[in-house]
Structure 1
Amino acid sequence: MKLSTQKHIYSVKDNRDRLGELPDDIIVRILSCLPTIDAVRTVLLRRFGNLWTLVHTLNFDYTAYLDKLCVWGNSEHIQWYCHFIRNVLMLHQNPSIDKFYLSMEFDEAADDIRAWLMFALGRKAKEIRLYDDCDYNYSLSSILPKFKSQFLVTLDLDYCTLEGEFEVKLGSLQKLSLYRVRMSNKSFQSFISGCPSLQELVIRSPGWLTKLSFSVPNITKLSLSLTDKYYEKKSLSLNFPILKCLYLESQLCQIDVIDISSVRDVYINYPQVESPSPHFSPELQTIIVHGYGKSWKSQLRLTELLLKSATLLDKLVIVPIEGRLKEADELKFVKHASEFPRASSTARVIFT
């Protein structure tokens, strides 16, 4: 009887409009987690009203926009999409935003995109992500030749080109991600020199880039993925003596290690490393070699160099990919890797 009474009490409480009882700032936080098109639609709900104009995140995803309208992309729909973004930015009232995400075909609205980026920077955006639905159709420097912000902490660029004259002053930027960005060695150096507080750099399939070297004093982590056919017969030079954590993923290119003398932790996936006079860190503590396969001889040389040079190494973890290596070759790899001399008396070689 007591249990029945409790159930009755709970059912009565469940009839309350708990969402309507939430304070405005909590509702704004909830709306900030939604795609902007969904947040705007809550204007139809009496309790929500115009609270969407105070959201901290503006997420304009072209694909999601088309899905909501059940239409396919063409020039007319792009115009509708641009009109939607213009109206949202015109009505938005929060003097600052945390995140600004923009996904679309950038070449269709270069002037608009320049204005939208200036809006985001003017609202002190801490995180900006730009994704072009078409491959390399726009040059960031042509849209925004002067990229300046004291507040931007995270920047993601996807499918664009860095070329020509541009000025970068991102004094607070801590993480920079460049996905499928075409850039020359000169343009990369020019961009990176404007980010003095950078701590983490992510580069995936960079077109044109053949040398990777920088002197940003605070950077501690580099993630480098080279799986583009562009690098099939090319090499990339790595030179960053102040780095602490290095992630390497490459199936295609040859990597020339010049200096990684401060690296403590290394994650390697499909490397083909050439380094006749390597400068590996004697303070390496953790190394993970993931996915050795056809390039196992090259990886074996790298394993030997790492074991010989890392005096403080705690563990070297080797993770094969099933079916990528013949059993006989795998046995050779394991045998040789286990027998290599080790600079660290406590170093363990772990095969998973």
Structure 2
Amino acid sequence: MAGKRVRIGRKFQPKKCAKRCKGDNNDRISELPDDILVTILHLLPMKAAARTSILSSRWINLWKNISSLDFDAEIALVKIADDPKLSNEESLKYVRWVNCVLQSHKASPLKEFRVCFDLGRTFKYAITQWLEFAFARNVERLELDFSPRTCRVGTVDDTCYVFPNKFLKRPSQSSSVNFRSLKELSLKSVIVTREAVEFFLHNCPLLEKLVVSYTCQLSNLEVCGSSLALKHLELKHCYGLKSVKVSAPNLTSLSIPKVEGLLLENFPSLVKVSVTCIIDRYSVKNLLPTLSCCIFQLETLILTLDDDGEDIFLPTFPQLPKLKKLVIYYWVDGEQSLMGLTSLIRASPNLQEFVLRLTVWDYLRSDEEVKNSIKFPHEHLKVVMFCGYCGRSSDAELVGYILDNCVALEKLVIDPRYPFFLRGTPSDTELVEEQTSRDYAKQQLEAQVPQHIEFVIH
């Protein structure tokens, strides 16, 4: 069938270039004031912004005034992940790039300064100079992320960069550094002490977000103070951390790793919690009183559940009346049932989104028919995402429960791709496993999903 012909009125047709281009009058962008041009450049990746300097003399120095310096090098990190021998070469290139930009940069104050590369003590002199640069320009958002591109459990060692003590001085101690402008601080794969963390908390009156991950010097930590402006606190992979006490009235989101002692209090605004615990009746049961100060007001709950080799056992949870999003990270080995997770769904009558991020260490697929015997209608769950689906009968069993009971379900996403926490390029064997999992998902689920539900297999 021939396509429908559409006519465009003459007044909407583009004029020929010869009639509208006279000299340099077509360069309307360059006629804009400097502050507007810098705002436009701020929206570009930093390398792209720097490349505009070749356009004309009008643009040579404009990029040097952008207030956000995000030294993102994702392409180089992928190269290193695929070929570790390139690590030293790419690291040197990265350091030279940062140094070159800082030598030319003029803007102050600095809204953002982000360094993201697998660097360690080898480059401590350069990193310390970068910090001096950022603090001298009253940086508002500071991020140091020296994590490797591929996830390596327990990577914190004596090669990691240590946050310098020379910055941790109060103004009365003749420190040249002023932290009063700092609003967000993120330290990943940086060795930082309890004294350093608490220094920032009590000397940065505007600090609203604090992230500390992949560090080994923290054992006990207190984040307490009625005057703290802190709204977001994230502690992850803090090896050696034994106890945490948090009391911050303005906190809205909290992420805490598995610790022996956890004390939470004074959270009138807390609506999002991420916490790790062992899957057994004792650990989860002990977690509930800890969350009692906020469990009835939570809107988002993220649970990381460490497998103890048995089927999931979760005690009866109290009602979570305001919970809208539930995310569960779970590591399994073999064919353990996932039906224990349904107790959390049933405890959340207003839940709208459920995300399961599953990592399976041993693929034990089965072609046996799965029958769901649990009937508990859920009236508000609309979106379900199952990451790590590999075709085990227990995987199909959980999805069957959701299809049978979630009467408002609008979208079901099955994502069997390489485990979410590993950031390197999947091997050929892993890609084959992914495709096998897709085939199982299609075979097991496609006929069960009603037509009114959007069904996606990544």
Asked if TM exceeds 0.5, the reply is: yes
Q: Please report how far the alpha carbon of residue 106 of structure 1 lies from its aligned counterpart in structure 2 after TM superposition.
A: 3.1
| 1:246 corresponds to | 272
Q: Say whether the 8 Å CA contact 2:120–2:161 is kept in structure 1.
A: no
The alignment status of 1:173 with 2:192, answered yes or no, reads: no
Q: Please report how far the alpha carbon of residue 296 of structure 1 lies from its aligned counterpart in structure 2 after TM superposition.
A: 4.2
Please show how residues 78-97 of structure 1 align to structure 2 within 5 Å.
78-97=91-110
Secondary structure of the corresponding residue to residue 234 of structure 2: strand
Secondary structure of the corresponding residue to residue 125 of structure 2: helix
One-letter amino acid matched to 1:86: N
**1:51 aligned residue (26, 49, 62):** 62
Root-mean-square deviation over aligned CA pairs: 4.5
| 2:160 corresponds to | 138
Q: Please report how far the alpha carbon of residue 45 of structure 1 lies from its aligned counterpart in structure 2 after TM superposition.
A: 2.1
**1:268 aligned residue (294, 297, 301):** 301
CA spacing shift, 1:33–1:317, aligned 2, 3 Å: closer
The alignment status of 1:99 with 2:112, answered yes or no, reads: yes
Secondary structure of the corresponding residue to residue 13 of structure 2: helix
CA spacing shift, 1:83–1:248, aligned 2, 3 Å: closer
| 1:221 corresponds to | 253
Counterparts of 1:241 and 1:350, CA distance in 2: 35
Secondary structure of the corresponding residue to residue 181 of structure 2: coil
What are the superposed Cα offsets for residues 194-220 of structure 1, whole Å, 9 maximum, x if unpaired? Answer: 992101123444433343431122212
Higher strand share: 1
CA spacing shift, 1:80–1:290, aligned 2, 3 Å: closer
**1:202 aligned residue (231, 234, 239):** 234
Counterparts of 2:338 and 2:261, CA distance in 1: 17
**1:119 aligned residue (128, 133, 158):** 133
Secondary structure of the corresponding residue to residue 247 of structure 2: coil
Counterparts of 1:61 and 1:195, CA distance in 2: 34
Counterparts of 2:69 and 2:340, CA distance in 1: 49
One-letter amino acid matched to 1:154: E
Secondary structure of the corresponding residue to residue 157 of structure 1: strand
Identity %: 19
Q: Please report how far the alpha carbon of residue 176 of structure 1 lies from its aligned counterpart in structure 2 after TM superposition.
A: 1.9
Q: Please report how far the alpha carbon of residue 145 of structure 1 lies from its aligned counterpart in structure 2 after TM superposition.
A: 5.1
What 5-or-longer segments of structure 1 have no aligned partner? Answer: 308-313, 339-348
Q: Say whether the 8 Å CA contact 1:172–1:195 is kept in structure 2.
A: no
What are the superposed Cα offsets for residues 271-300 of structure 1, whole Å, 9 maximum, x if unpaired? Answer: 65999999x7x9953354455984644763
The alignment status of 1:128 with 2:142, answered yes or no, reads: yes
| 2:45 corresponds to | 35
Q: Please report how far the alpha carbon of residue 26 of structure 1 lies from its aligned counterpart in structure 2 after TM superposition.
A: 2.0
Give TM-score scaled by structure 1 length.
0.70
**2:33 aligned residue (23, 42, 58):** 23
Moved more, 151-160 or 138-147: 138-147
Q: Please report how far the alpha carbon of residue 57 of structure 1 lies from its aligned counterpart in structure 2 after TM superposition.
A: 0.9
